[in-house]
């Protein structure tokens, strides 16, 4: 059952990320995140990440719309609050350091670092969070 909850939650986040490239209001917020991350200069962790505030208000709104609110809603529906605890620890402590770090390359197992940064240069690929399973399944993967 554990894996089913993880699978469903990550599927939701995958589609939320794809939607962020389609719906104009969210797309505007998401593009700001892309602009900011493309200027990554190493460790971007800041104490404000503990409040799930990233980079600036637009990137933060993007994070809350595409990841935080869907995770909270998923946990409300399923009563699986351990997912929110896991997500919070990830988003508050590690995401800004690992996900956008060009020195990290953990493909084919994880979508951190180079895999995700490819998404920032090619907006039609690599939407997945944590694992490339949905990018492989829906043919939106690009490891090159």
pLDDT tens digit string along 80-135?
Answer: 999 999 999 999 998 888 888 888 888 889 998 889 888 888 889 999 999 999 99
Provide the angle, in degrees to the nearest 10, between the axes of the packed helices 2-19 and 69-78.
150
Q: What is the rounded distance in angstroms from the CA atom of residue 121 to the CA atom of residue 63?
A: 19
Q: How much is the average pLDDT of 51-56?
A: 88
Q: Reduce the DSSP state of residue 128 to 3 states and report it.
A: coil
Q: What is the pLDDT of residue 103?
A: 86
Query: What average pLDDT does the structure give for the chain?
Result: 90
Q: What is the rounded distance in angstroms from the CA atom of residue 83 to the CA atom of residue 88?
A: 8
Q: What are the two backbone dihedrals, phi and then psi, of residue 113, each rounded to the nearest 5 degrees? A: 65, -125
Q: What is the rounded distance in angstroms from the CA atom of residue 38 to the CA atom of residue 32?
A: 10
Say what the pTM is: 0.91
DSSP element (H, E) containing 78:
helix 69-78
Q: In which band, very low, low, confident or very high, does the pLDDT at 10 lie, cut at 50, 70 and 90?
A: very high
């Amino acid at each position: 059952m554990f894996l089913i909850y993880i699978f469903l939650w990550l599927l939701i986040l995958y589609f939320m990320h794809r939607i962020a490239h389609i719906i104009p209001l969210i797309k505007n917020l998401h593009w700001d995140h892309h602009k900011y991350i493309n200027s990554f200069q190493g460790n971007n962790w800041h104490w404000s990440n503990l409040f799930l505030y990233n980079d600036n208000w637009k990137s933060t709104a993007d994070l809350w719309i595409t990841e935080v609110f869907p995770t909270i809603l998923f946990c409300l529906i399923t009563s699986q609050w351990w997912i929110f605890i896991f997500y919070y620890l990830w988003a508050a402590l590690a995401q800004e350091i690992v996900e956008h770090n060009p020195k990290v390359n953990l493909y084919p197992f994880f979508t951190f670092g180079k895999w995700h940064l490819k998404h920032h240069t090619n907006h039609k690929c690599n939407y997945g969070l944590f694992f490339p399973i949905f990018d492989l399944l829906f043919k939106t993967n690009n490891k090159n």
